[in-house]
């Protein structure tokens, strides 16, 4: 078997062997680090600006439950098979060419997140220099700086992340302490939203959509987990600490500061040092964004052209595109972006979970090849039922206003995919029987 662990490839096109699996705490820290970041703080602040405390709590709770269920199920499959999301999708409904669509969606979404967070990083730099650096120049410096770190400084980036995440949590702790000193927590919990109102449905979709891409790419990290129990604790602790913990603190801070501007909030509560640490935490999450994007593109190029490419070059291209998006002002569309993700991404998880746990289309092939530590034989090229179910899920989530769009899109795609595959098997079976009788 070809060794894909060399040259920083990280088993991108092969199974993660048992010998390379990691302890639960190592995986969990990556998960908490992915959630306890600037983007989660931005999300909590956006909810707090448009909702009361309890409205934001229930929106956060509903969204978190969705994320926990999706993360655990798809993460368990990734850990069991030792495969990334893009690679796993080949044998869970999407086929060889369908998995390239998954890779593209993941890459596009994570590039979008890169742009959103780089915009905040750049705005912080503009404020720190009192406007001496313009936003486009700052965005170019911060975006390309992070990209260069990912390409050439993996050890340095890892060291930076280990410092950035605890420092982020410490600053958030200092911020909430300052808020509680200056404001009554009970008053903050009962104050009206300082900005334009949001519904609980929209809020829950923002929460689920905000990290749904993270839930769908859980196998990118859970493939290094030793068993399903480790995946459960990794996802649960990550959700409790990162999603609910950091999110609700940001809600309170938005009520106290009466703004959804993350940098302004941290300036009011923790000063320049706090703002710098929060902004600096983009290094950690953007590292993960680029990592998953590179896995997605690696799968695309391997599936379509059967060519193995240099991930450093891919990362450079992704970083340049993400930087350009931040210069063009993607941050201004942040809420719309979250809602769109909340509808477009869930169908992927719905289809993969139904295929892997219910239909078990390639389960025998996966089991047999797993024992040998290799990939199964080539899957189907493309399943039209999958594409139809995905499109139906997206349309349902977009047009059906009743309920939570994220859940609607996931359930519609899962049900249509299940029924479509069963119907296709029935038709194929009847055709084979008739052909057998005729012969």
89-121 per-position pLDDT tens digit: 999 999 988 888 888 887 777 777 778 778 877
Q: pLDDT at position 325, please?
A: 82
3-state helix, strand, coil in the chain (%, to 5): 80, 0, 20
Distance CA 273, CA 133 (A): 19
Q: Higher model confidence: residue 150 or residue 252?
A: 252
**pLDDT greater than 80 at residue 203:** yes
Residue 368, in any domain of the structure: no
Residue 81, in any domain of the structure: yes
What DSSP letter does each residue of 216-266 carry, written as one string? Answer: HTTHHHHTT-SSHHHHHHHHHHHIIIIIIIIHHHHHHHHHHHT---HHHHH
Residue 421, in any domain of the structure: no
Q: pLDDT at position 20, please?
A: 83
Q: How far is CA 235 from CA 69, 108, 172, 221, 225, in A?
A: 9, 24, 21, 11, 12
Q: pLDDT at position 275, please?
A: 65
Mean pLDDT of the chain: 81
251-300 residue pLDDT tens: 988 888 888 877 677 766 666 776 666 666 666 677 777 777 777 887 88
What residues make up the domain containing 189?
9-333
Residue 206, in any domain of the structure: yes
Of all residues in the chain, the percent with pLDDT exceeding 70 is: 84
Residue 388, in any domain of the structure: no
Residue 362, in any domain of the structure: no
Q: pLDDT at position 156, please?
A: 56
**CA angle at residue 219 from 355 to 360, to 5 degrees?**
15
Number of compact structural domains in the chain: 1
Token pair, residue 136, equals 């486009």
Q: pLDDT at position 352, please?
A: 95
**pLDDT greater than 60 at residue 438:** no
Q: Higher model confidence: residue 314 or residue 251?
A: 251
- 3 state SS of 81: helix
Residue 398, in any domain of the structure: no
Q: pLDDT at position 7, please?
A: 41
348-382 residue pLDDT tens: 999 999 999 999 999 999 999 998 889 898 888 88
**pLDDT greater than 60 at residue 157:** no
Residue 173, in any domain of the structure: yes
Q: Higher model confidence: residue 213 or residue 230?
A: 230
Beta-carbon-side half-sphere exposure of residue 2 (alpha carbons within 13 Å) = 10
Q: Which of 42-51, 99-108, 198-207 has the highest mean pLDDT?
A: 42-51
State the pTM of this model.
0.81
Let me know: does 296 contact 53? Beta carbons within 8 Å: no
In this prediction, residues 329-333 reach a mean pLDDT of: 69
Which CATH number fits the domain that encloses residue 115? 1.10.4160.10
Q: pLDDT at position 170, please?
A: 81
Q: pLDDT at position 437, please?
A: 57
| 5 — pLDDT class (breaks 50, 70, 90) | very low
Token pair, residue 301, equals 């190029």
| 8 — pLDDT class (breaks 50, 70, 90) | very low
Q: pLDDT at position 436, please?
A: 44
Q: pLDDT at position 302, please?
A: 81
């Amino acid at each position: 078997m070809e060794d894909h662990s060399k040259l920083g490839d990280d088993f991108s096109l092969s199974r993660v062997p048992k010998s390379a699996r990691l302890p639960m705490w190592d995986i969990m820290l990556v998960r908490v680090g992915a959630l306890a970041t600037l983007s989660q703080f931005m999300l909590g602040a956006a909810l707090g600006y448009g909702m009361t405390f309890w409205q934001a709590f229930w929106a956060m709770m509903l969204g978190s439950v969705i994320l926990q269920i999706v993360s655990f199920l798809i993460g368990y499959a990734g850990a069991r098979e030792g495969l990334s999301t893009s690679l796993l999708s080949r044998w869970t409904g999407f086929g060889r060419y369908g998995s390239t669509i998954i890779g593209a969606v993941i890459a596009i979404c994570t590039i979008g997140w890169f742009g959103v967070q780089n915009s905040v990083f750049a705005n912080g730099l503009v404020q720190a220099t009192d406007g001496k650096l313009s936003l486009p120049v700052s965005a170019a410096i911060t975006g390309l700086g992070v990209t260069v770190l990912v390409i050439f400084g993996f050890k340095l980036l890892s060291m930076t992340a280990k410092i950035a995440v605890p420092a982020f949590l410490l600053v958030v702790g200092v911020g909430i302490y300052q808020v509680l000193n200056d404001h009554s927590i009970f008053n903050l919990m009962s104050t009206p939203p300082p900005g334009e109102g949001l519904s609980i449905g929209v809020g829950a979709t923002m929460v689920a959509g905000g990290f749904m891409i993270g839930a769908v790419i859980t196998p990118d990290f859970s493939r290094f987990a030793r068993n399903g129990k480790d995946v459960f604790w990794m996802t649960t602790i990550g959700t409790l600490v990162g999603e609910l913990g950091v999110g609700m603190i940001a809600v309170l801070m938005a009520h106290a500061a009466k703004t959804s501007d993350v940098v302004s909030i941290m300036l009011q509560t923790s000063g320049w040092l706090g703002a710098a640490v929060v902004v600096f935490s983009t290094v950690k999450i953007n590292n993960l964004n680029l990592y998953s994007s590179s896995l997605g593109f690696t799968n695309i190029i391997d599936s379509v052209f059967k060519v193995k490419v240099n991930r450093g070059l891919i990362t450079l291209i992704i970083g340049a595109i993400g930087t350009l998006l931040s210069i063009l002002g993607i941050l201004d569309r942040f809420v719309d972006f979250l809602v769109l993700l909340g509808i477009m991404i869930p169908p992927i998880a719905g289809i993969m979970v139904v295929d892997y746990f219910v239909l078990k289309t390639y389960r025998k092939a996966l089991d047999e090849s797993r024992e040998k530590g290799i990939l199964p034989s080539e899957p189907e090229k493309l399943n039209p039922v999958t594409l139809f179910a995905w499109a139906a899920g997206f349309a349902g989530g977009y047009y059906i206003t009743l309920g939570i769009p994220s859940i609607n899109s996931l359930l519609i795609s899962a049900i249509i995919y299940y029924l479509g595959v069963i119907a296709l098997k029935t038709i194929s079976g009847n055709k084979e029987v008739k052909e057998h009788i005729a012969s």
